Structure 1
């Protein structure tokens, strides 16, 4: 009898496979919900979306931070890759502007990730380690961009945090009503960061007034107690 034919080992293998399937279902459900509804989704909602019990969810992911850490691991890889690409650009100013546009686009593509970049999760060790790595790269990018004479001397890394928080708010507020609004925000902020006369990407068009009004109305309803 081969090891695969031993009943006990067959049962153990089946349990491991079932546990892995449940983990993947949970992560897929959380990714869908976080992307469309943000990080405010409850663990109970994730369990329902995944079709598993709360106990099963808790066995796979003991805390909300554990789940967030797992769900956004690949997004943080993309985030780290973006700063590496920016640092590799032979034109540091171009690398700087493209980096800001890229990470804000990542936020726009996933409401959950928009919040992740604008918040801190001390208990999510791996996620925070990748964020710290990218932050150090951004400090280097700032120094290089300032060296071109195009980035304002008073720009600080905290300005990036403010931009990401503002962008997350705009994305949440405009939703599907005026989805391109974030591009206008980023375009205006790049102009605020640049010294007069510095080359900047073309300014995206303003959102349509009717679309923006619908977004304001919807966001007002969501904000009601």
Structure 2
């Protein structure tokens, strides 16, 4: 068999493999959005019309599938964060960042789970979470340096707000799907520098925050 004949055989196989991969990603995006990151991989495979073994050949671990499924959402989120940092007004940038973040939480339960947890031992998820944490710190520090956000807010306070918002979204998804915006703006008022009062409890350390995100993942 000539090299040309071999390539004619390979090309349909490659197309078939790409089609199966694309179907798996589309099924995963739908299922993760509704069920969260712990959605059944068996159901995802069935919805894509393939065997579970085919899923694992394309995506050896759940996190590999998560990253492939969330890639467009993650890029949308990171692009929105970049625009928030480019706002001339630091407070508007801070508000824009959080509204973009929470709006994306509200639209996708799996993405909400991904934002809320840490997955130690997986380099790509750690890199993405580290990048998100840097963005949180940058947008917060910019507002604090301008004197518009209270100086004692920490990155951990923002992550706690992400957790709280996730529960609000779950509780109100059917009855009042935009309720999260009310509570975001109530918290934003509490974050303004002119509203600051002493807080009796110190902020979480970076180590405590990381451990809490890992433990949340292990409990779910």
* Structure 1 vs Structure 2 CA RMSD: 2.0
Q: Scaled by the length of structure 2, what TM-score is found?
A: 0.82
- For residue 193 of structure 2, give the secondary structure of its aligned residue in structure 1: coil
1:130, CA displacement in angstroms?
2.6
- For residue 149 of structure 2, give the secondary structure of its aligned residue in structure 1: coil
- Partners of 1:76 and 1:127 within 8 A in 2: no
Q: Is it true that 1:164 corresponds to 2:142 in the alignment?
A: no
The count of corresponding residues between Structure 1 and Structure 2 is 196
1:3, CA displacement in angstroms?
5.5
- Partners of 1:65 and 1:123 within 8 A in 2: no
- Partners of 2:189 and 2:195 within 8 A in 1: no
Tell me, which stretches of 5 or more residues in structure 1 are unaligned?
Answer: 199-225
Alignment of 1:35-74 (within 5 A): 35-74=33-72
Of residues 69, 91, 101 in structure 2, which corresponds to 1:103? 101
Partner of 2:172: 174
Q: Is it true that 1:140 corresponds to 2:159 in the alignment?
A: no
For residues 74 and 127 of structure 1, do their structure 2 counterparts lie closer, same or farther at Cα, with a shift above 3 Å needed? farther
- For residue 31 of structure 1, give the secondary structure of its aligned residue in structure 2: helix
Runs of 4 or more consecutive aligned structure 1 residues displaced over 6 Å after TM superposition:
none
Of residues 6, 11, 35 in structure 1, which corresponds to 2:9? 11
Query: Structure 1 CA distance, aligned partners of 2:124 and 2:137?
Result: 20
Structure showing greater relative contact order (alpha-carbon pairs closer than 8 Å, 6 or more residues apart): 2
1:62, CA displacement in angstroms?
0.8
- For residue 155 of structure 1, give the secondary structure of its aligned residue in structure 2: coil
